[in-house]
Structure 1
Amino acid sequence: MRYIIIGAGAVGATIGGRLTESGHDVVLVARGAHAAALRAEGLRLTTADGTRTHRPPVVSGPAELGELRPDDVLLLTVKTQDAIAALDAWGDAEVAGGGTAAQRLPVFCLQNGVEAERLALRRFGTVYGVCVWLPSTFLEPGVVSALCEPLTGILHIGLAAGGTDARAERVSADLVKSGFGAPVVPDVMRWKHAKLLGNLGNAIQATTGPAPEPAKAALLLRAIREAKAAFAAAGIAYATDEEQSAARDGRVNQPAVLRGGSSWQSLARGTGSIEADYLNGEICLLGRLHGVPTPVNDVLRHAANIFAREGLPPGSMSITDLTALADEAAART
């Protein structure tokens, strides 16, 4: 199998680099200064066991590869707000022997939230969900860090519509060989809904900074309570805290770092977009569909989008001000 990593940012480059290191055929998809650096200098990936440079092929789109191979596996690692463009571009790519990628090839969705799988299922015949636990940082073009140990990350894998198959097992085996935990589960979306609860704090971290504070934890707890009420009203199951701890504890030990997560990094890089509509916004959507108030999540979604749209520095809002906005919104409901 050849792995095409569509979006070689922090997560994509880490997975692509690790797969390359273990002898697998990998193509990285990137653009701009990052693509230029990857082509010129290779991918410099730092993990818990050191820094190495990998030099897999780098392309900016399917046209540069020509016909795709029947054994290609697409790993979609762009953020959800960029998923439609990527799915459309790669889904229309022709595969040797006839047909398109959307008709013949599998796509694995490695986004936070639960919307990417639905977007992919509208276009691709074979879609897998991947619940990603992989703290990693895009440091500069061509340079990525992922310091967890003894495993670099944990990636739960399963068919997006439910169930497992032989391909999921093969991909899991390749990832395990490459330094990841990769459990194959029949209910991967249950795991992704559980992770979504923690990702509701991404907007808090992005707007007020990554340093832990009791007031930040308190606001996140309010957002999670709204989400759990929305899940209950919608009949959505999610993995328990105990299940997640059993899967991760002692296997992905993360060193203390001051850099923020994926949403914080989007603001720091000035990408102009952020994933809040598919994290906090997912809870707002469920709340509106099922009659559950979600004022805290709506404030977090709105604040994160303002930061992205206006190019505000990450962490430049006080948690006191953000909490006050949430209190005002809650009082209006």
Structure 2
Amino acid sequence: MKVAVMGAGAVGCYYGGMLARAGHDVVLIGRAQHVDAIRAQGLRLDTQSFDERVRVAASTDAHAAAGAQLVLFCVKSTDTESAALQLRPHLAQDALILTLQNGVDNAERLRSQLAQQVAAAVVYVAAGMAGPGHVKHNGRGELVIEPSSASDAVARVLIAAGVPTEISDNVRGALWAKLILNCAYNALSALAQLPYGELVRREGVTDVMRDVVAECVAVARADQVVIPGDVDAAVRRIAETMTTQYSSTAQDLARGRRSEIDHLNGYVVRRGAIRGVATPANRVLHTLVKLVESNARATAA
């Protein structure tokens, strides 16, 4: 299968690398520092079970997606529309666009920009870029994808490549479940610059998480979302299974980049306002992260 990865950060490099390692024709589209390193030395896929350099094509230009049957759409939620516009002239008409992003509304936003089939996916992986062209996998790696005409075939390809994958009729609920995990951990990990395992041992943190989760669940119910599984158990499991992982928001703030907080706690605040559900804990976390971001930009300027 010919696969293009739009947004070759940690998530894109991990899943693209796994597919390339399995023999698929993969191109990673990302920033120059990673593209240059991958072209020179291959992608270093540093996982819990192996550490290998995988030969894979890489480009900084969206035209590299031409002819791809599958596009893993992995850009930040803040860049969804702009990246879609870059891709649009180059996409094959029968391509499946699979969104591997944080947040719950990216598939809808993509469908407003693209004629191709779009399927949402929920991503459960702990990974980070340890250096140019070097993805460090810290745990998990499952995908849950919504049904489409190509989902069965894509799921088989992913499973054969070592990526546990299931198809679900309730991806909306699963996306909300993932959003709740992100809302519980991302901002706090970012503000404290602590990994999950250490974060939950700090005084008052689990109490704040409990408040955040309760607000998220209330907003989801008001939006008539059916959240699968035990939310509280899932929140506890993150700290147990991803002890050394820093949130993507923490990584963004550490690098002086704009985070996705508007699409995480900020999204819950906006939906809560529409539905008449109070979200003070999410509002405070959203505001604090935005303050850190604005201070970083002011300092850089």
Give the letter for the 2:204 counterpart: A
Distance 1:218 1:74, change over 3 A: same
Q: Which residue of 2 aligns with 1:229?
A: 218
Q: Secondary structure at the match of 1:45?
A: strand
Q: Which residue of 2 aligns with 1:18?
A: 18
Q: Which residue of 2 aligns with 1:207?
A: 191
State whether structure 2 residue 258 is matched by structure 1 residue 260.
no
Question: Quick one: distance in 1 between partners of 2:28 and 2:250?
Answer: 23
CA contact (8 A) 1:204 1:300 kept: yes
Question: Quick one: distance in 1 between partners of 2:280 and 2:47?
Answer: 39
CA contact (8 A) 2:126 2:242 kept: no
Question: Quick one: distance in 1 between partners of 2:286 and 2:9?
Answer: 23
Question: Quick one: distance in 1 between partners of 2:228 and 2:80?
Answer: 25
Q: Secondary structure at the match of 1:146?
A: strand
What's the TM-score once normalised by structure 2's chain length? 0.88
Question: Quick one: distance in 2 between partners of 1:243 and 1:204?
Answer: 17
Percentage of matched positions with identical amino acids: 28
Aligned pairs for 1:284-295 within 5 A:
284-295=269-280
Give the letter for the 1:41 counterpart: Q
CA deviation after TM superposition for structure 1 residue 298, in Å: 1.2
Show structure 1 runs of 5+ residues with no match.
96-102, 159-163, 313-333
Q: Secondary structure at the match of 1:49?
A: coil
Which consecutive segments of 4 or more residues in structure 1 shift more than 6 A?
Answer: 242-245
Question: Quick one: distance in 2 between partners of 1:306 and 1:234?
Answer: 29
CA contact (8 A) 1:138 1:265 kept: no
Aligned pairs for 1:159-178 within 5 A:
164-178=147-161
Deviation digits for residues 277-319 of structure 1 (CA, Å, limit 9, x no counterpart): 001011111111111111111111111122223229xxxxxxx
CA contact (8 A) 1:121 1:127 kept: yes
Q: Which residue of 2 aligns with 1:321?
A: none
What's the TM-score once normalised by structure 1's chain length? 0.80
Q: Which residue of 2 aligns with 1:114?
A: 104
Q: Which residue of 1 aligns with 2:72?
A: 75
Give the letter for the 1:54 counterpart: V
Give the letter for the 1:38 counterpart: I
Question: Quick one: distance in 2 between partners of 1:155 and 1:220?
Answer: 25
CA deviation after TM superposition for structure 1 residue 254, in Å: 4.1
Give the letter for the 2:148 counterpart: D
Q: Secondary structure at the match of 1:92?
A: helix
Distance 1:44 1:61, change over 3 A: same
CA contact (8 A) 1:193 1:239 kept: no
Q: Secondary structure at the match of 2:5?
A: strand
Q: From the CA coordinates, give the structure whose radius of gyration is larger.
A: 1
Deviation digits for residues 80-139 of structure 1 (CA, Å, limit 9, x no counterpart): 0121111111023254xxxxxxx5422111111102112112122311011000111111
Q: Which residue of 2 aligns with 1:269?
A: 255
Question: Quick one: distance in 1 between partners of 2:231 and 2:268?
Answer: 22
Q: Give the CA RMSD over aligned residues.
A: 2.1
Show structure 2 runs of 5+ residues with no match.
none
Question: Quick one: distance in 2 between partners of 1:233 and 1:243?
Answer: 19
Question: Quick one: distance in 2 between partners of 1:214 and 1:179?
Answer: 39
Q: How many residues are aligned here?
A: 286
CA deviation after TM superposition for structure 1 residue 242, in Å: 7.5
Distance 1:310 1:39, change over 3 A: farther
Q: Secondary structure at the match of 1:139?
A: strand
CA deviation after TM superposition for structure 1 residue 55, in Å: 1.9
